Chains A and B, each alone.
Chain A
Amino acid sequence: DAGVTQSPTHLIKTRGQQVTLRCSPKSGHDTVSWYQQALGQGPQFIFQYYEEEERQRGNFPDRFSGHQFPNYSSELNVNALLLGDSALYLCASRYGTGKNEKLFFGSGTQLSVL
């Protein structure tokens, strides 16, 4: 059983460009969340998708957008990249409900903005 898979593993972009990151959740998981982890910091919640809609959003500007497909996979799009967007982007899929909920994280995409 494959875990949460993310692609690409590394990416280099320049300021002002746009980027798309991809995530395939663990088999049977229908909810996907995205987190940004800057160097030396804890992950920061970007948003969560369920049933192809954004359900929760963290404190990130509209330059960050996403999409979820019918097969539950997801994309994170970032427009007009800034140097400060350089970070590890983590995808997580959810299993269970209520107090039994659990998140499974992918290994992340390391984005460098030059």
Chain B
Amino acid sequence: GNSVTQMEGPVTLSEEAFLTINCTYTATGYPSLFWYVQYPGEGLQLLLKATKADDKGSNKGFEATYRKETTSFHLEKGSVQVSDSAVYFCALSLTGGGNKLTFGTGTQLKVEL
């Protein structure tokens, strides 16, 4: 079956530090890959996506590259801010992302001054 594994949190960083959150996946077929972010008390928001191998998704300074050879989609940001504190979910879909999503367990990020 399809599954997503992401690094456990919480991840605690100082402001302006470099961020990496690891994500690997197992899927039948050729999935689309996503990062969603969940701020406290809010629903999930799509952060970025990539729909085929070697695609790079980017948004708000965050980036992730679809690596088919390593079945990975690691999230990176060069300089985090306190406002980036949230829970980050890696997910896959066998369609464009409007249908069934399979999520990882989430990684909580805390950014301190």
Contacts and interface: CB of A to CB of B under 8 A. Distances in A.
A101 B106 contact: no
Contacts of B106: 40-42
Interface stretch (A11-19, A60-68, A72-80, A90-98): A90-98
Interface of B: 4, 32, 41-46, 51, 89, 91, 95-106
Interface of A: 4, 31, 33, 35, 40-45, 48, 56, 58, 90, 92, 94-103, 105-108
B99 A33 contact: yes
A97 B95 CA distance: 9
Given A42-B104, A42-B105, A102 B46 contact: yes
B43 A90 contact: yes
Residues of B contacting A: mostly: loop
A57 B91 CA distance: 17
19 contacts: A4-B43, A31-B98, A40-B105, A40-B106, A41-B105, A41-B106, A43-B44, A43-B101, A90-B43, A92-B44, A95-B98, A97-B96, A98-B95, A98-B96, A99-B32, A102-B46, A102-B97, A103-B44, A107-B41
B105 A103 contact: no
B98 A103 contact: yes
A33 B103 CA distance: 14
A23 B54 CA distance: 37
A98 B49 CA distance: 13
